[in-house]
Amino acid sequence: MYAYYATEQKDLSVSEKELHFSINKSYELYNYLLLLIQDIIQYAESRIEIAANKRIPSFEDLHPNKRFVSNKLAAQLAENIQLSKYISNHHISWVKYPELIKELYLEITEFEDYKQYMEQEESSYAEDKKLLAKIYSDIILTSESFNQVLEEQSIYWNDDLEYVIAMVLKTIKKFNEEDGPDKKLLDLYKNKEDHDFVIDLFRKSIAKRKDCLELIESTASNWDLERIAFMDILIMQLAITELLEFPSIPTKVSLNEYLEIAKYYSTEKSNNFINGVLDKIMALLKEKKMINKSGRGLIGEL
């Protein structure tokens, strides 16, 4: 939405293509992250091999702890047909970032959860899953070096990482020990309805801009539109469109979603301002009976 209005020559079809491209880049990051743990484990294996080939290897060098490199979930991901096919078709690889792989591995070895995992007398599939989830949520997500590499690779990944890590964690949770190479990973869209929702919301929000601005201006007491942050207007424009045009989405879900978006994309005080304005707009729309919700889970909307 921001890019569309910030462009001098507004072309809806071009903007839609850009929107789809950005969503596809998020899915690329999802697969890229699933590949990452394989490269880290390969690096760990190479260190074990180098140590064993020392001129005078120690007992530890000859009898290494292979619990991490034998992680069962990592092995499943390495053999997963869907992931391998995506990696091959899209030519994604971490081969250009050996220093990052090394840095992440060293950080993992200093991680308390990793130390406890390696010290356990017996390994289990549950513990293998737990460790990988912790690595993604506590190390990869917070790594400044990793974030910097992503930023260098794609402008679309600047604020995608937290969301995509959540997708990775959901994927880890869905895996079972008996799953084979044909285990299905998450798809780009949950279903066709989700795919259609993206473009419907984008198109309808632009089509209803004039109506949305009139509602915002009449409701935002003592505020001229020129004094309201552009991003705040776009967030409210999307929210109002969703309230009016998508009968299956509960009003509370819409409001909560856009207040959450405001935390990321607008100013510190915007959340309360947007909340107040949208509350008034929703009350006005309900009074005029312009909000019509239907479907399961919408009891109490009226």
* pLDDT tens-digit map of 8-18: 888 999 999 99
Is residue 41 assigned to a domain? Answer: yes
Q: Give me the pLDDT at residue 279, please.
A: 93
The answer to whether 23 and 188 are in contact (CB under 8 A) is: yes
> Whole-angstrom Cα distance, residue 123 to residue 67?
7
Same domain, 165 and 228: no
Residue 100 has pLDDT above 90, yes or no: yes
Is residue 166 assigned to a domain? Answer: yes
Chain centroid to CA 197: 18
Same domain, 167 and 84: yes
Is residue 2 assigned to a domain? Answer: no
Reading the block at residue 88, the tokens are 């091959």
> Whole-angstrom Cα distance, residue 255 to residue 271?
11
- What are 73-79's contacts with CB under 8 Å, separation 24+? 73/125, 73/128, 73/129, 73/132, 73/172, 73/175, 74/37, 74/38, 74/41, 74/128, 74/132, 76/175, 76/179, 76/181, 76/183, 77/34, 77/37, 77/38, 78/38, 79/180, 79/181
Tens digit of each residue's pLDDT (9 = 90 or more) over 123-134:
899 999 999 999
Q: Give me the pLDDT at residue 299, please.
A: 47
Mean pLDDT of the region 153-178 = 93
Q: What is the domain range of residue 158?
A: 26-174
For residue 140, the 8-state DSSP code is I
Is residue 39 assigned to a domain? Answer: yes
Residue 296 has pLDDT above 70, yes or no: no
Mean pLDDT of the region 71-75 = 97
Same domain, 88 and 163: yes
- Higher pLDDT residue, 221 or 88? 88
The answer to whether 48 and 91 are in contact (CB under 8 A) is: no
Same domain, 33 and 151: yes
The answer to whether 281 and 215 are in contact (CB under 8 A) is: yes
Is residue 237 assigned to a domain? Answer: yes
Tens digit of each residue's pLDDT (9 = 90 or more) over 253-283:
999 999 999 988 888 788 889 999 999 999 9
Same domain, 158 and 84: yes
Is residue 267 assigned to a domain? Answer: yes
